[in-house]
C-alpha cells in the first residue's frame, strides 16, 4: 500500500518576511498540491467565459462543470472557520444574459457551503449595451464553511448618517441608538459615507483612467478585496486567489498584514503581479485609497456640457 504523498508547505515559516507566493500554473492542478484547510479566505473573480484573450469560450454547461471541479478543491483547502468570496458578473450568449451568481449558488450548496451575503457591487462605468440596459453591477457571493467563522464588523463600519439619533420609546428612551464606531455598510457596495452630511462615493471598477490599471482586461480594484480582507480575516491569516491575474488580491492582503497565495496560468500576468508587489513594498505602487471620493464633474468641463448640436434636436419624451 503506497503512502499518501505529503504536500509541501507554501511558505517557509522560519522566515518572517515570507508573506506571499505567486504560482504560474493551472488552478486545478496547483490546488491539488496544497494541504487541506490551508486558507482563511479564498477570494477571486473567475473567468466569465466571454471570450477574452486568456479564455477559451465554452458552452455554459461545460464552463460550469470545469469550475465545479475547481470549487471542490477550493472547499477542501478552505479552513473550517474560513470564508470564500466569489465575485462574478454575467455570461452572455447570443445577446441572452445568464446571471452567473445564480448558477454558481447551486454548486457551492452542493459542497455544503453557507451563503452569508449576496453583495452587490455597483460601479458607474462600463460598456454601453444597445439591445438591453447597460450592466453596472456585479455580485460577490460570500460563503462560509461552518457557522463558526471570522467576521470583523468593526473593521469595515462606515460613519452613521444620523449619529445623534436616539431611542424614542421603551427602556432605552433618550439613549443614543447607534454605534459610536459607525454603522454596518450593508450588502450593496455602492456608496460609503465619508462624513454623514457631506460626501458619498463609489468603489469604481478599473478602467483606463484608474491608477491601478494594467494590461489585464478584467482587473478588479484592490479596495474591493481590501474590504473583504478586513472583515473576514485577522492579522497573519492566509488568503488565496486561484485566478490571481495581476495580483490585486495579494496586494490587498499584504497591505493588511495577511499572507497571500495567488495562482494564474498566464505568465505575463504573474510577472506583472510580482512587479506590482515589489513596487508596493518599495512605496511606488499607485493604489486608489480605500474610500477615496470619485471624481465628479463640476459642469464647467466641455465634455460635461450639453452639446449645441443636440439642443437643436426635437426630442419626444
Identify the residue whose cell numbers are 475547481: 70
Torsion angles phi and psi, residue 60, rounded to 5: -60, -35
Looking at 25-34, 37-46, 228-237, 296-305, which range is the least confident one? 296-305
Q: What average pLDDT does the segment 134-160 reach?
A: 92
Per-domain residue ranges for the chain? 20-311
**Whether pLDDT at 198 is above 60:** no
- The β-bridge relationship of strands 188-189 and 238-241 is unpaired
Fold of 20-311: Rossmann fold (3.40.50)
- CB of 136 closer than 8 Å to CB of 109: no
pLDDT tens profile 16-30: 456 899 999 999 999
pLDDT of residue 90: 85
Contacts of 35 (CB under 8 A, 6+ apart): 7, 9, 77
How big is the CA angle at 121 (ends 277 and 304), to the nearest 5 degrees? Answer: 95
Pure H helices in 21-59 = 27-31
DSSP letter, residue 46: -
CA distance 168 to 176: 10
pLDDT tens digits, 114-131: 999 999 988 777 777 888
Higher pLDDT, 38 or 300: 38
Percent of the chain having pLDDT more than 70?
A: 74
Single out the residue of 105, 95, 96, 101 nearest to residue 121, CA to CA. 101
Amino acid at each position: 500500500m503506497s503512502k499518501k504523498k505529503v504536500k509541501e508547505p507554501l511558505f517557509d515559516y522560519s522566515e518572517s518576511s515570507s508573506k506571499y507566493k505567486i504560482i504560474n500554473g493551472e488552478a486545478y492542478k496547483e490546488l491539488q498540491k496544497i494541504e487541506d484547510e490551508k486558507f482563511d479566505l479564498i477570494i477571486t473573480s473567475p473567468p466569465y467565459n466571454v471570450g477574452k484573450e486568456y479564455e477559451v469560450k465554452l458552452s455554459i454547461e461545460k464552463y460550469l462543470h470545469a469550475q465545479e471541479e475547481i470549487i471542490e478543491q477550493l472547499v477542501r483547502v478552505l479552513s473550517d472557520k474560513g470564508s470564500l468570496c466569489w465575485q462574478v458578473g454575467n455570461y452572455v450568449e447570443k445577446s441572452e444574459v445568464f446571471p452567473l451568481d445564480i448558477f454558481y449558488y447551486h454548486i457551492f450548496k452542493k459542497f455544503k457551503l453557507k451563503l452569508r451575503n449576496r453583495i452587490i457591487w455597483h460601479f458607474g462605468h462600463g460598456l454601453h449595451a444597445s439591445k438591453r440596459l447597460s450592466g453596472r453591477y456585479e455580485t460577490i457571493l460570500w460563503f462560509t464553511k461552518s457557522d463558526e467563522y471570522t467576521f470583523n464588523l468593526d473593521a469595515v463600519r462606515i460613519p452613521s448618517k444620523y449619529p445623534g439619533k436616539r431611542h424614542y420609546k421603551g427602556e432605552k428612551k433618550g439613549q443614543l441608538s447607534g454605534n459610536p464606531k459607525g454603522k454596518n455598510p450593508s450588502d450593496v457596495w455602492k456608496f460609503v459615507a465619508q462624513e454623514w452630511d457631506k460626501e458619498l462615493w463609489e468603489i469604481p471598477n478599473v478602467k483606463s483612467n484608474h491608477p491601478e490599471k494594467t494590461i489585464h482586461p478584467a482587473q478588479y480594484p484592490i479596495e474591493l478585496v481590501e474590504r473583504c480582507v478586513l472583515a473576514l480575516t485577522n492579522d497573519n491569516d492566509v488568503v488565496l486567489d486561484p485566478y490571481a491575474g495581476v495580483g490585486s488580491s495579494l496586494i490587498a492582503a499584504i497591505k493588511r498584514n495577511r499572507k497571500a497565495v495567488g495562482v494564474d496560468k498566464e505568465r505575463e500576468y504573474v510577472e506583472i503581479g510580482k512587479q506590482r508587489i515589489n513596487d508596493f513594498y518599495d512605496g511606488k505602487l499607485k493604489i486608489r485609497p480605500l474610500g477615496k471620493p470619485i471624481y465628479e464633474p463640476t459642469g464647467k468641463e466641455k465634455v460635461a456640457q450639453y452639446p449645441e448640436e443636440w439642443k437643436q434636436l426635437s426630442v419626444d419624451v
